[in-house]
Amino acid sequence: MPHTTIAATDVSLKEYLAKADAPILLDLWAPWCAPCRALAPTLEKLAEEAGDELIVLKVDVDEYPAVRERYAVRGIPTMILLKGETELARLSGTQPLSKLKQWLSEHGAPIETKAARPTQTAQRWGAFYGDAQLRDFLVTRMKQHADQGDVSTSRAPVWMAGKGTFAATLVHSESLDVFERVSGLPASLAPALDFVGACNEQEVSALLDDLRIDTDLNHAALQLLQNWMSDPAHRWTDVLGEPQLDELRVQWLALCQQAMTQQAPAAQKWEQLREAAAALENPKHDPHRQLQGMLANLLTRVSPLPASSDGLAWSAVFQAAGWCSLHLLMDSMDWTAVERATPALRSNWFQTHERELGGFSKEQLQAHREQWNAENAEFLIKEQAFHAQYGENAKAPNLRRIAALAQALAKAPLYLPA
């Protein structure tokens, strides 16, 4: 089987269930669902590592609603583990790769080996393939989209009805492979462009005006990540509150600096950092360690550094950075650690009561909502204000990221073939 996810129809799903020897992980999703799109790179990585041990199928429930009805799915994304026609387990919501693999193992579908694709290397051509006309066409069209308000922000790439996230809008596709093939820019740059949150024409111009053809942009995404992870405005040491994890962040920055100056760190140093970071992840999803667990997971993903052509790896990295940034923004707005944990605690509270009742009726769900809201009225006011003012409050950190990436793009050296 191909080591990738497979888009299935209602007909082909039946064929896979009837004929496949390996377990099937069925992902029920829809294009408009942001958590579904956020989960997509994780499922791609899972399929890559699983190889022949697991078949990962994706069914668009808008296009094939009968599949959703067949499995009585209320919310998406929902993943259903199947062996033939037998359902073994199901899991809802966006999940990290580590939890997905643990969940699969607990339900009889362990991923024992890693059947990875061939090692990817740095992109072997300059920006825009050295074609000035291609650059001018893409940049001009991108500015028109920005002027018309077509560019939006999201933690996953989006391209729908002529609108989308930065990288998707640039090439009119949310596919990382299409981004690289159409633009001649490294796949790692796509999630980096989306991460900085540039939407209007001024912000788009800041990124693209000084971007030259034939430049080597293989390190641009890494430079942005370095800048973000060392930004003093984030109060890293204080907000993490875990000296060991903060020291790993500093160690990673030092190793990256060595790598950027052509002094490649020993593989053993990367491995030691990766193992130490993995030990600090948050496998039990403690609501009070969300930021710490996400940063630890991010450090494992970039130790050692992924190739600039590995778009899926960089997409997962910047999605993790996006979730960390949400917590950092809350901290900058004087949210306490307890308040930052409260949304996850709320979710756990509802799930616990739903399990105890064997499922919520509409009336029971409404009663529990009213109870939780009454008991947490002060937090609810603060949360609503945070989301209402999110765009304005996110402006400052976004502008810092835009400036950092713009500088990396403008100062990129010319590409020199090896």
* Residue numbers annotated as active site: 33, 36
Residues 56, 46: contact at Cβ < 8 Å?
Answer: yes
* Pairwise CA distance, residues 387 & 314, whole Å: 27
| CA distances in angstroms from 205 to 96, 199, 201, 321, listed in the order given | 34, 10, 6, 24
| CA distances in angstroms from 69 to 29, 35, 49, 57, 413, listed in the order given | 13, 20, 30, 17, 54
Token duo for residue 12: 């082909």
* Pairwise CA distance, residues 75 & 28, whole Å: 9
Which conformational region is residue 120 in: left (phi greater than 0), alpha (psi within -120 to 50 degrees), or beta?
beta
A 10 A CB-CB count for 79 gives: 24
Token duo for residue 102: 């643990």
* Pairwise CA distance, residues 341 & 61, whole Å: 32
Phi, psi of 188 (to 5 degrees): -65, -25
Token duo for residue 308: 């600039």
Residue listed under structure tokens 């790439």 = 157
Residues 323, 195: contact at Cβ < 8 Å?
Answer: no
CA 276 to chain centre: 22
* Pairwise CA distance, residues 49 & 3, whole Å: 7
* Pairwise CA distance, residues 247 & 296, whole Å: 11
Read out DSSP for 284-349? T--GGGHHHHHHHHHHHHTSSPPPTT-HHHHHHHHHHHHHHHHHHHHHHTT--HHHHHHHHHHHHH
* Pairwise CA distance, residues 255 & 366, whole Å: 52
